[in-house]
Structure 1
Amino acid sequence: MIDADVVVIGSGAAGLAAALAAADGGAEVVVLEASPRWGGSTAVSGGQVWAPANHRMDESDSLDEALTYCRAAAPGRDDAMVETFLRTVPEVVRFLEERSPIRFAPAPAYPDTFAELPGGKTARHVEVRPLAVGDLGDLDELVWPAPFFAPVLTNQEVLEHYLFAGGTPPMELIAQRMAAGTVTLGAGLVVGLLHGCRTAGVRLIRDCRATELTRDEQGRVDGVRIDHPDGTVRARRGVVLASGGFEHDPALRTRLLSGPLTHPVTPPIQHGDALRMAGRVGAALAYTGEYWSWPACQAPDRTWPDPAGTPQPQLTLPERSLPHVLWVNTAGRRFVNETSHNCASAFAELDPNTHRPRNLPAWAIGDAQFRAKYSVAGIPAGTPAPDWLIRADSLAELAERIDIDPAALAHTVTRFNAMAEAGRDDDFQRGRTRYEHAFGDPTAVHPNLGPVSEPPFFAVPVYPGAVGTKGGPRTDDRARVLDWSDRPIPGLYAAGNAAAAVFGPGTIAGGLTIASALTWGWLAGRDLVTGH
């Protein structure tokens, strides 16, 4: 049997922040990671942290402005919990810099999703500066592989060099950082947290899946049973659930989610362990129908390095925000502002005549102008197209290949092209916000709009994806798990995607998942050693 003061289940941003906070307060901490790699979804993320009024910002901000924005952009959530998050996240940013090698830098190129709303800002994000992996080991075996390229450039650098918009990579800088063994993005955040935890004396155990919570005679959670020779881990003070959501469990997705989710882009390790364990001890569950939705695409040759060779989808970025591409549904019609941050929510719309998803299957339709300058489904610009990429010399032929009415597609593209030439999307207002411009092509006449007119044309399936689910046990403002009578379950905490989300149903800022995970993880770890 393993004994500790605090047991943390999961090693992403939420789990490692909880572990570091508890260990910093003098607790003996054990982190249990079910997979052979650290970091979970955090490791493959952009790693940016939405932290209003943080000390690294160049732009002035305040709690009141941030709260005004949250109320305008995400009405209907628990106002007190939102305010707790906003008050705490700047403190967490400072704490991580003080207790780990992490140093944050502002990311001014990344606006709020709805920056035009009251309280909205063009710069509230921070991200990890490049830091060394050091003696943690080989990065390829340490964390899950990044979806696009080696994590050696920051988000700010990616946007400054327009790498998603046909820009030229800074190869000398990339080579320098790879030679030095430095990392950025989500991998950099995980590496920094691992260094901090190890320095603080946290015991880190991989390949150790928690299966059930244990309780003492008074009903207090006092440990976990594990799929490991040691059998049980005793937690003298409490347990933190931080093992992510349930997006890779088909049964839970079918039973709980309110919309379609077929291609999660997270590592194939989130099977709902935290939700099941919490449910068995009487935790109240909330927002189980929601998820952090994103459009995804899938190259047939991309798989995760797990024993099953699980397909590895990737976020659809260039194929939704750059000129010379549009999306259509099976009726051959556009159905959403493709560039909007919450565009994937349109996949959940039902056709009242058929009671089936109105906008699935969905396709990104582009032309030779797009292929010459931008990547598509991970295929670099200007390179030969693989056999699986559907191509045609005419829109009519392309429509037949993807089983869409040619006349409908022709009408849609003709109308789109006229609007693109004018630089004004009268149907869905694509390209009108600062968020959308940030991910457009600044060298184009219109950053997010361009006609689809030059053959050959291509079609790529766009799938309903996600960077995690949002449903889980309800928590209070100290990250304590609540029962159905709103009473804390003694000894049990939850954070990150293992807990019910504070924000929803969509997203109001990039990096909100990581920021939430760090904040509620930190609150859990602190409460376990201070009681407040």
Structure 2
Amino acid sequence: MYGVFWSAICDEWSAGRSDSRDCRKRRSALVGDGARARRGVEAALPESSRVSFDVVVIGYGYAGAVAAIEAHDAGAHVLLLEKMAAPGGISICSAGGVRIAYDAEDALDYLEATNAGTTPTKVLRQLAEGMVELPDRMRALARVSGARVEVRPAKGNYPFRGHESFGFAMVEDVPGFSSEAAYPNVKGSAAGARLFKVVEDNVRERGIEVRLETGARRLLTDGERRVTGVDAGEPLHAGAVVLACGGFEADPEMQKQFWPSKPVLSAAFRGNTGDGIRMAQALGAGLWHMWHYHGSYGFRHPDPSYPFGIRTKRLPDWLPGDAPRDDVRMPWILLDRDGRRFMNEYEPYLQDTGHRPLERFRPEVQDYARLPAWLVADEAGRRLYPFGQPTYNEPGQCFEWSDDNLAEVELGILQRAENLDGLARGLSVSRARLDATLERWNRGCERRRDEDFGRPAPSMAPLIEPPFYFGRVWPIVSNTQGGPVHDERQRVLDAFGDPIAGLYACGELGSVFGHLYLSGGNLAECFVGGRIAGREAAGA
């Protein structure tokens, strides 16, 4: 409803004139009344009590940038806070593919199926409708940078009803832009960096005030639980606050309370420590989806100064029921601590669910059988491609995985065994157990059928050529989905379902995804939810 309403009045993004004076006047007449009324009240208050901003947005990734842009374009005086020394957060490490939809009803059917009743239909409908509008929104933002946005069809990750209604929108080119030069502390996809360049240019073009190295500590209220600002080392008064400060990938203490497996290594960013969750909780916010995180399995660097887990190489996702690609091979298997396979190492969307099979706790021995698990490959597999794919947004880091995996043997991430006896010793399993496991696997490769876990046949590679290589693998979290509950207007709700006045959330913080994730879905939430949150906050 809101998207159609604003398009009819004056859709600045679609028109590509975000600084249009006439458009700003018309919007301000509708959503600026609340801001002007607050300023009228301020004039009668002591200087120390006056509202400094209409909207404060906490967190400068995709979601925070979009919320700030939308609030500004609705006539609000906006402050954008970021606790780290540079903006980007985990957003800038993303693959940059924003999920779009061609049909809102079909997209809603799919979202309902993948969320399994964990998210209200009204909230999912708002996302589905926003995904249909996203290509035009992104193209309008891209004009500021002279960037080119391309859209292509891409099915959902699972064959639920509506899965064919999706696609991706990506920033394919920004003239004169180099991701390495612009963001030297980031190792990720160039497409993700280009997308962040576009939103950063839009923030800068509008003259939105940004304060870096300014962490939010607590929310300010009026004593009646209406949010009136934020404590960020000094009181910053505002008519509304938007929480867009990410999840808790880098907070192991919070993870311990909600996740069954321990430890889980963070993939890319140290700044997401659950700040927004705690601030919302302090005002009675309800929580959802706290168990759910987007992640896979990967390696731990032996140098403690390297703070992240290292995911295995990303292979193409595949859709159950469709014929798998013939050109994708995975040269390893995973074994538990007893030397047995325990999962399909190449699940349909491995980057999302690959961590889940590692979580089983064995009451019989009071321990985790698969923490760590073992990745095992042979010499032919070692030569195929790099096993690891580091990603990070971190000053001072420069770790690159070698093309032939041999530097990682020297580092100790991988170990080498000259024969099967040495491999059995390295894994601390009996030679008989190892032989049984490898014989069954190699027989399955000959028959092109994994009878145990259903791994796609083209991906199967026998383990026969010494020397053999093995390394410990752990659960890796790329980003979390849990956080404060919000409604279709992005208003944070308390534990009884009532809105907390003046408080909004968007992006990864309290994601709508509560069961199975849709690739690119968090990015869609950043743009759709960020837009709604910014607009609502401006009119609060």
Question: TM-score, length-normalised on structure 1?
Answer: 0.80
Map of 2:464 onto structure 1: 453
Map of 1:525 onto structure 2: 534
**3-state SS of the aligned residue for 1:207?**
coil
Pair 111,135 (structure 1): closer, same or farther in 2 beyond 3 Å? closer
Map of 2:514 onto structure 1: 504
Asked if residue 235 in structure 1 is aligned to residue 238 in structure 2, the reply is yes
| Distance apart, 1:505 and its partner CA | 2.7
| Distance apart, 1:199 and its partner CA | 1.1
| Distance (whole Å) between structure 1 residues aligned to residue 481 and residue 405 of structure 2 | 38
Asked if residue 24 in structure 1 is aligned to residue 73 in structure 2, the reply is yes
Map of 1:437 onto structure 2: none
**3-state SS of the aligned residue for 2:508?**
helix
| Distance (whole Å) between structure 2 residues aligned to residue 260 and residue 12 of structure 1 | 28
- Detail structure 1 runs of 4+ shifted over 4 Å in the superposition: 132-138, 318-321
| Distance (whole Å) between structure 2 residues aligned to residue 409 and residue 275 of structure 1 | 45
Decide which of 109, 126, 149 is 1:84's aligned counterpart. Answer: 126
**3-state SS of the aligned residue for 2:163?**
coil
Aligned 1:282-431 pairs, distance under 5 A: 282-300=284-302, 309-317=305-313, 322-340=329-347, 341=349, 342-378=353-389, 379-382=401-404, 384-385=406-407, 386-387=409-410, 388=412, 389-431=414-456
| Distance apart, 1:350 and its partner CA | 2.2
Query: Are the equivalent residues in 2 in contact too, given 1:23–1:201 (CA < 8 A)?
Result: no
| Distance apart, 1:111 and its partner CA | 4.5
Map of 1:74 onto structure 2: 115
Map of 1:436 onto structure 2: none
Query: Are the equivalent residues in 1 in contact too, given 2:55–2:78 (CA < 8 A)?
Result: yes
Asked if residue 221 in structure 1 is aligned to residue 227 in structure 2, the reply is yes
Letter in 2 for 1:70: L
**3-state SS of the aligned residue for 2:383?**
helix
Of 420-429 and 38-47, deviating more is 420-429
| Distance apart, 1:291 and its partner CA | 1.7
Decide which of 85, 104, 122 is 1:36's aligned counterpart. Answer: 85
Query: Are the equivalent residues in 1 in contact too, given 2:110–2:163 (CA < 8 A)?
Result: yes
| Distance (whole Å) between structure 2 residues aligned to residue 403 and residue 39 of structure 1 | 43
Deviations 1:408-444 (A, max 9, x none): 222112111121222222211112xxxxxxxxxxxxx
Decide which of 224, 244, 251 is 2:253's aligned counterpart. Answer: 251
| Distance (whole Å) between structure 2 residues aligned to residue 207 and residue 135 of structure 1 | 25
Asked if residue 105 in structure 1 is aligned to residue 150 in structure 2, the reply is yes
Query: Are the equivalent residues in 1 in contact too, given 2:53–2:238 (CA < 8 A)?
Result: yes
| Distance (whole Å) between structure 2 residues aligned to residue 524 and residue 203 of structure 1 | 18
| Distance apart, 1:479 and its partner CA | 0.5
Letter in 1 for 2:160: L
Map of 2:524 onto structure 1: 515
**3-state SS of the aligned residue for 2:232?**
strand
Query: Are the equivalent residues in 2 in contact too, given 1:127–1:185 (CA < 8 A)?
Result: yes
Decide which of 53, 69, 87 is 1:4's aligned counterpart. Answer: 53
| Distance (whole Å) between structure 1 residues aligned to residue 461 and residue 485 of structure 2 | 45
Deviations 1:92-147 (A, max 9, x none): 44223213435432355x64321x33332396222221225769995245xx4115
Of 457-466 and 416-425, deviating more is 416-425
Decide which of 186, 209, 215 is 1:145's aligned counterpart. Answer: 186
**3-state SS of the aligned residue for 1:124?**
strand
Pair 96,294 (structure 1): closer, same or farther in 2 beyond 3 Å? same
| Distance apart, 1:43 and its partner CA | 0.9
Pair 371,89 (structure 1): closer, same or farther in 2 beyond 3 Å? same
Map of 1:181 onto structure 2: none
**3-state SS of the aligned residue for 1:426?**
coil
Identity of aligned residues (%): 29
**3-state SS of the aligned residue for 2:530?**
helix
| Distance apart, 1:300 and its partner CA | 3.5
| Distance apart, 1:498 and its partner CA | 1.9
Query: Are the equivalent residues in 1 in contact too, given 2:334–2:373 (CA < 8 A)?
Result: yes
**3-state SS of the aligned residue for 1:204?**
strand
Over the aligned positions, Cα root-mean-square deviation in angstroms equals 2.6
Map of 1:157 onto structure 2: none
Query: Are the equivalent residues in 1 in contact too, given 2:339–2:427 (CA < 8 A)?
Result: no
| Distance (whole Å) between structure 1 residues aligned to residue 260 and residue 527 of structure 2 | 27
The count of aligned residue pairs is 458
Decide which of 121, 126, 131 is 2:169's aligned counterpart. Answer: 126
Map of 1:273 onto structure 2: 275
Greater C-alpha Rg? 2
Structure 2 regions of 5+ residues with no counterpart?
1-47, 317-327, 390-400
| Distance apart, 1:40 and its partner CA | 0.5
Deviations 1:227-263 (A, max 9, x none): 3xxx122213x10111111121222111232443421
Pair 319,129 (structure 1): closer, same or farther in 2 beyond 3 Å? closer
Query: Are the equivalent residues in 2 in contact too, given 1:264–1:467 (CA < 8 A)?
Result: yes
Question: TM-score, length-normalised on structure 2?
Answer: 0.79
**3-state SS of the aligned residue for 1:365?**
strand
Map of 2:323 onto structure 1: none
Query: Are the equivalent residues in 1 in contact too, given 2:107–2:166 (CA < 8 A)?
Result: no
| Distance (whole Å) between structure 1 residues aligned to residue 524 and residue 443 of structure 2 | 41
Query: Are the equivalent residues in 2 in contact too, given 1:45–1:146 (CA < 8 A)?
Result: no
Decide which of 454, 468, 489 is 2:500's aligned counterpart. Answer: 489
